[in-house]
């Protein structure tokens, strides 16, 4: 296997391989086992195509038109017509990584041998991925049942040399031209191939896998932001002790609390108010606000890790699946309902709720820094000269605007259904829509956490000469080394926010803390 190439076999493809192909542009190839399975499945289709008895997807129409028997001479036209008519997407182009993820996961199902695809068609899809040829897929068109029909049809259209694609450099061009430029030729679809290419939940699944990958980083980064806020607001770390968390034994909650304990270890700021004060009095900070004290309950169980663990389980099951209708079994083809996107749609919606709630508590922690009545001695809005300067006042407005949007995006898409195909497809999942809004939710959560990190870092600088913990101090140092200045007179804040967003999105904030204390849970 060529270095860097992802092999697609009969078995499930892994999360990391999906991300590598979708985002990093890694090439792919079919395994020997996949080649054999594809050829075996195709032999079944060819045998049934030669039979006089009508078989759905091979010698009949589709959906509500399935009762019409199609003669052999018209079956190539049948498949072309299917792809052309179903490539009916509208709206903006979706992201390159989404299309590559969709194509990879469709190829993974084709590799099982249960779709009846021809080997040359599957190999062309693999070659398109390897050469970076990405079909243009549009925002609207999938109801998440009978698969992501319109998005997958736009990809199938490119395989027959029609429609628009972008080449490896991102240049928009006709599919036939892009294929020819890298020495590839379009295919003419045989019986069942059109249906095999378009009848899967691959778009929504690919977006779920990438969102879960991002959220894994974001939840750990949210723990870092929470630790910086607890520290900067002179909160207590005692509430995160294992003996207290064990009284409510949710695994995700325990992981988040353990992270907070590790992140705050060695903090001079926390130590400064833990015991008797210099004048002999005891610290009166006996109980923090919910947004500080309950971070593990939100980041852990109620709105995060445990919910996402379930989503990851569903995604793992889907990656093992062969989603098509009809499917090829040992010696026959049978209709089924496995194309229904409900299992994926539900967890996509669950994940959007996670993003909204974690962002909501992050915004509340940020707001506490800016109110002199609640910040325990910090200047109003963390401003250099309050009144002349506004500090981070409007950064919190930006957070609030994003959080409000995330709450709207948390409204489930999967509870909606609009019947289609003359009531043949009378209940649909809207899973593609759930996936599209989750992508916006993940982006929004990234921005909200970044603003909390930015604000907390400023507050920790204002607490000096008290020293932050080694882990949170490393995050503050990362921001300063990245050109994000510390406290001072007002300056153009948007570029600093965007720089911090990229540090969060890239995993740099997480890496800075983990370089000091090891991998967070």
Is 397 a catalytic site residue? no
Type and span of the H or E element at 243: helix 242-245
Whether the Cβ atoms of residue 375 and residue 455 lie closer than 8 Å to each other: no
Residue 368 CA to residue 423 CA, distance in Å, equals: 53
The CA distances from residue 3 to 7, 29, 35, in Å, are 11, 12, 20
Q: What is the torsional sign of CA 307, 313, 319, 321?
A: negative
Residue 262 CA to residue 427 CA, distance in Å, equals: 48
The CA distances from residue 263 to 474, 499, 516, in Å, are 11, 23, 9
Residues 6 or more apart in contact with residue 504 via CB below 8 angstroms: 218, 221, 446, 449, 450, 453
Type and span of the H or E element at 231: helix 202-232
Residue 96 CA to residue 136 CA, distance in Å, equals: 8
The CA distances from residue 11 to 141, 316, 317, 318, in Å, are 30, 12, 12, 12
Whether the Cβ atoms of residue 216 and residue 136 lie closer than 8 Å to each other: no
Assigned token pair, 268: 């001079």
Whether the Cβ atoms of residue 479 and residue 444 lie closer than 8 Å to each other: no
Give 425's DSSP letter: B
Catalytic residue among 56, 140, 290, 397: 56
Q: Tell me how many degrees the CA angle 123-125-128 measures, rounded to the nearest 5.
A: 110
Show the 3-state SS of 458-517.
Answer: HHHHHCCCCCCCHHHHHHHHHHHHCCCCCCCCCCCCHHHHHHHHHHHHCCHHHHHHHHHH
Q: Cα–chain-centroid distance for residue 440?
A: 9
327-328 vs 164-166, strand pairing mode: unpaired
Residues with catalytic roles? 56
């Amino acid at each position: 296997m060529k270095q860097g190439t992802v092999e697609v076999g009969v078995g499930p493809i892994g999360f990391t391989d999906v991300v590598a192909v979708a985002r990093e542009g890694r090439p792919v190839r079919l395994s020997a086992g996949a080649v054999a399975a594809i050829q075996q499945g195709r032999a079944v289709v060819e045998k049934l195509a030669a039979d006089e008895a009508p078989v759905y997807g091979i010698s009949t129409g589709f959906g509500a038109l399935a009762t019409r028997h199609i003669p052999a001479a018209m079956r190539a036209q049948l498949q072309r017509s299917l792809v052309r008519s179903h490539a009916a997407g509208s709206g903006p182009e979706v992201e390159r990584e989404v299309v590559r993820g969709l194509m990879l996961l469709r190829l993974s199902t084709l590799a099982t041998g249960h779709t009846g695809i021809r080997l040359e068609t599957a190999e062309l899809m693999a070659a398109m991925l390897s050469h970076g040829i990405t079909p243009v897929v549009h925002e609207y068109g999938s109801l998440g049942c009978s698969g992501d029909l319109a998005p997958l049809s736009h990809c199938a259209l490119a395989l027959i040399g029609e429609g628009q694609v972008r080449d490896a450099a991102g240049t928009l061009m006709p599919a036939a031209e892009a294929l020819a430029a890298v020495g590839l030729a379009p295919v003419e679809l045989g019986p069942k191939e059109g249906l095999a290419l378009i009848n899967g939940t691959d778009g929504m699944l690919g977006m779920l896998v990438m969102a879960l990958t991002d959220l894994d980083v974001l939840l750990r980064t949210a723990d870092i932001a929470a630790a910086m806020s607890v520290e900067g607001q002179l909160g207590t770390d005692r509430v995160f002790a294992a003996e207290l968390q064990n009284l409510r034994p949710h695994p995700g909650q325990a992981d988040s609390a353990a992270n907070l304990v590790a992140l705050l270890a060695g903090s001079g700021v926390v130590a400064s108010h833990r015991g008797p004060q210099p004048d002999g009095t005891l610290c009166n900070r006996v109980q923090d606000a919910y947004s500080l004290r309950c971070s593990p309950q939100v980041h852990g169980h109620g709105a995060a890790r445990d919910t996402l663990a379930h989503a990851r389980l569903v995604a793992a099951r889907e990656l093992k699946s062969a989603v098509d209708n009809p499917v090829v079994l040992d010696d026959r083809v049978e209709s089924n309902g496995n194309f229904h996107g409900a299992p994926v749609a539900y967890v996509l919606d669950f994940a959007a709720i996670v993003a909204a709630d974690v962002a909501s508590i992050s915004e509340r922690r940020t707001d506490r820094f800016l109110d002199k009545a609640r910040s325990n001695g910090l200047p109003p809005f963390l401003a250099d000269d309050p009144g002349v300067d506004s500090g981070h006042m409007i950064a919190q407005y930006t957070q609030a605007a994003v959080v409000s949007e995330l709450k709207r995006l948390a409204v489930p898409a999967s509870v909606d259904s609009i019947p289609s195909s003359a009531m043949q497809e009378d209940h649909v999942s809207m899973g593609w829509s759930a996936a599209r809004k989750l992508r916006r939710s993940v982006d929004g959560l990234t921005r909200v956490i970044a603003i909390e990190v930015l604000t907390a870092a400023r507050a920790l600088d204002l607490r000096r000469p008290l020293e932050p913990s080694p882990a949170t101090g490393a995050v503050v140092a990362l921001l300063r080394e990245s050109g994000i200045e510390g406290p001072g007179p007002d300056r153009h804040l948007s570029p600093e926010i965007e720089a911090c967003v990229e540090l969060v999105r890239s995993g740099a904030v997480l890496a800075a803390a983990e370089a000091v204390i090891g991998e967070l849970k």
